[in-house]
């Protein structure tokens, strides 16, 4: 019996645009089990980003319950939320979001600084991760000396270096060409095989099919669930 690590019950998110009230997420129920690879598929404006922000503890729902590893996120204060983001979530962004003035190694070390890992241990962990994502010889390179695919690998390395509960990827191949996109997807699949739980948000059906399970988000409603063969 696999453990439920993410439980969303009746999640509603309302934004206020001036006088208007806009319901972005409408009573979402969504569960993720340990070692699942799930795609959240939806066109732009469907509420994907809001969904991701809530899953990533960057935003808090208007109503409903969100439990991450058994903790009710809406009850946490800002300091505890920062700790959760550091320990439980590994973010991968479409635009990589590497800090340009830090080397690949230093970028990967960044989240470890915030979890107060001592410098020597930090370096060792980051080196191991970069070796794992195939960038052993690019550790001292700066982001502008790396290709898009390599930058995204660094970003993935940064996301997994803290051994988070969930790897949360937002359009991870959106800024890459098809070939490098495939390579990045292969890396995700490898990580999944190793036992990681991955949630990927995308608008691309083909990319979404890399996951075990696809959920569709349309106008704030989470509709069907499609099992893929993976």
Partner 1 sequence: MFRESIIMSWKNIIHNKMRSFLTILGIVIGVAAIIALITIVQGVIDNVDEQFDKLGANTLIIQASGTPLKSGLNDYDIEALKNIEGITGIGPNVSLNMDIWYNGVIYENINIQGRNDIYFNKFADRIRSGRGINVLDVENKNNVCVISSDFEQKLFPGENGVNKTISIGGIEYVIVGVLGNDDNVVSVTTMMSADDEDIMIPYKNLMNISGMKNIVSLELYTREDANKEIVTQTVKTVLNAAFNYKDDSYILIEMDSLLDVMKTTQQMMKGMLVGIASISLVVGGIGIMNMMLVSVTERTTEIGLRKALGAQPRSIQLQFMIEAIFLSVLGGFVGIVIGGLISYIASNAIGIKLALEPSAVLLGFGFSAAVGIIFGSAPARKASKLNPIDALRSV
Exactly one of 59, 65, 204, 219 binds partner 1 (CB under 8 A); which one?
59
Nearer to partner 1 among residue 2 and residue 116 (C-beta): 116
Interface of this chain with partner 1, residues 26 to 45, rule: CB under 8 A: none
Applying CB under 8 A, does 203 fall inside the site for partner 1?
no
Q: How far is the CB of 121 from partner 1 (least distance, A)?
A: 14
Applying CB under 8 A, does 76 fall inside the site for partner 1?
no
Strand arrangement of the beta sheet that strand 213-218 belongs to: 89-92, 166-170, 197-202, 37-41, 213-218, 221-227
Beta-strand relationship, 166-170 and 197-202: parallel
Applying CB under 8 A, does 223 fall inside the site for partner 1?
no
- Residues contacting partner 1: total by CB under 8 A: 29
Rg over alpha carbons for the chain, rounded to the nearest Å, is 17
Nearer to partner 1 among residue 7 and residue 102 (C-beta): 102
Exactly one of 2, 16, 101, 227 binds partner 1 (CB under 8 A); which one?
101
CB atoms within 10 A of CB 53: 17
User: What's the Cα-to-Cα distance from 1 to each of 8, 33, 39, 44, rounded to whole Å?
Assistant: 19, 10, 22, 35
CB atoms within 10 A of CB 65: 14
Residue 1, token pair as written in the block: 């019996």
Nearer to partner 1 among residue 72 and residue 114 (C-beta): 114
Nearer to partner 1 among residue 58 and residue 67 (C-beta): 58
Q: How far is the CB of 193 from partner 1 (least distance, A)?
A: 25
Nearer to partner 1 among residue 108 and residue 214 (C-beta): 108
Q: Is 100 exposed, middle or buried (0-12, 13-18, 19+ CB in 10 A)?
A: exposed
User: What's the Cα-to-Cα distance from 38 to each of 41, 58, 153, 182, 202, rounded to whole Å?
Assistant: 9, 20, 20, 17, 11
DSSP H/E element including 105: helix 104-114
Exactly one of 19, 20, 75, 78 binds partner 1 (CB under 8 A); which one?
78
Interface of this chain with partner 1, residues 145 to 174, rule: CB under 8 A: 158, 162
Q: How far is the CB of 142 from partner 1 (least distance, A)?
A: 11
Q: Which residues bind partner 1 (CB under 8 A)?
A: 49, 53, 56, 58-59, 78-79, 82-83, 85-87, 89, 91, 93, 95, 97, 99, 101-102, 110-111, 113-116, 119, 158, 162
């Amino acid at each position: 019996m696999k453990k439920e690590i993410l439980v969303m019950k009746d999640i509603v998110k309302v934004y206020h645009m001036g006088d208007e009230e806009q319901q972005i997420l409408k009573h979402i129920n969504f569960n993720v089990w340990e070692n699942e690879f799930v795609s959240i598929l939806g066109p732009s404006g469907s509420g994907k980003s809001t969904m991701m922000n809530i899953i990533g503890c960057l935003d808090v729902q208007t109503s409903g319950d969100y439990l991450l590893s058994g903790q009710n996120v809406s009850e946490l204060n800002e300091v505890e939320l920062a700790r959760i983001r550091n320990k439980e979530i590994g973010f991968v962004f479409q635009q990589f979001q590497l800090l340009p003035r830090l080397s690949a190694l230093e970028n990967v070390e960044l989240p470890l600084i915030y979890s107060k890992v001592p410098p020597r241990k930090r370096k060792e962990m980051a080196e191991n991760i970069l070796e794992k994502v195939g960038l052993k010889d690019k550790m001292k390179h700066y982001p502008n000396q790396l290709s898009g695919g390599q930058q995204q690998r660094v970003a993935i390395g940064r996301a997994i270096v803290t051994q988070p509960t969930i790897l949360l990827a937002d359009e991870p191949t959106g800024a890459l060409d098809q070939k490098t996109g495939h390579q990045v997807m292969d890396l995700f699949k490898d990580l999944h095989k190793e036992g990681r739980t991955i949630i990927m948000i995308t608008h691309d059906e083909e990319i979404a099919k890399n996951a075990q399970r696809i959920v569709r988000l349309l106008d704030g409603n989470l509709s069907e669930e499609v099992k893929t063969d993976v």
